[in-house]
Amino acid sequence: MSLIYSLDIIGTFAFAISGALFASDKKFDLFGVLIIAFVTAVGGGMLRDVLINAHPINWIGDLNYLWTILIAVVFTILFKSKIAPLSKTLFLFDTIGIGVFTLLGVQKGFSYNLHPSVAIIMGMVSAVFGGVLRDVLTSRVPLIFQKEIYASACLVGGLVFWATNYFQVTETTQFLCTLFSVILIRFTAVKFQLELPKVKDDLYSKK
C-alpha cells in the first residue's frame, strides 16, 4: 500500500466522520447519516471522474472506500461524545485530506491529458466538492463560498503540481511540494483568520 493511497484512505475516513457528525447534529436518521458521510467523503472524487469520463468511478473501482466510510460512521456513532471535542485533530485530518485529494485530482487530470488549467480545477473539485454536496443536501450555503481560504488553497496546490511537473522534478518531490503547499496555506489562513474579499458593491457605487 503506497503512502498516497494510505493518506487517501485516512482523508476519506476523516471526511466521512465530518459528514457523519454534521448529519448527526442535524438529527438525521441512520440512513441520512450514511448518505451524508458518503457524499462528503467521495463526492468530490466521484464528480471529478464523471466530468472527465474516468471509469470505473473511484469508489466503484475500489470497495475499500465504502468500507472506510462504513467504519467511520460506526466509529462516529459509538464514540461521538469523544470525537466531537477533537476539533483540532479533525481539522488536521481534514487539511491533510484536501491536500491529498487535490494531489490525486490534479494527477488524474494530467494522466488523462487534460489542459493544465482543467487538471488544476479537477484537483480542486476532488478536494472540496464533497463538502459542497453535503451542504447543498442539508440546505446550507456551502462554507467555501462564505469564509476561510479553502478552495483557493487547492488551486494553489494544483499550480504547484503543474510547476513541478513542468520542471520535471522527481515524483516524490512533486507530491510533497503539492501536499505541503495546500496544508501550509490552509493552516496559515485559519491561524490568522484570513479570508478572500467579499463582493458587496461595485467599484463605482456612491458611498
pLDDT confidence band for 68 (50 / 70 / 90):
very high
Name the least confident of 20-24, 48-52, 134-138, 197-201.
197-201
| Cα 11 from Cα 98, distance rounded (Å) | 7
Cell digits for 128?
Answer: 472540496
Rounded to two decimals, the pTM is 0.87
Looking at every residue in the chain, the average pLDDT score rounds to: 89
* pLDDT exceeds cutoff 90 at 38: yes
Query: Taking CA 159 as the corner, what is the angle to CA 153 and CA 163, rounded to the nearest 5 degrees?
Result: 145
Look at residue 150 in the predicted model and tell me its pLDDT: 85
Tell me the C-alpha to C-alpha distance, in Å, between residue 92 and each of 39, 85, 128, 167, 200: 20, 14, 15, 30, 32
DSSP 29: -
* pLDDT exceeds cutoff 80 at 194: yes
| Cα 121 from Cα 40, distance rounded (Å) | 18
Q: Cell 454534521 belongs to which residue?
A: 22
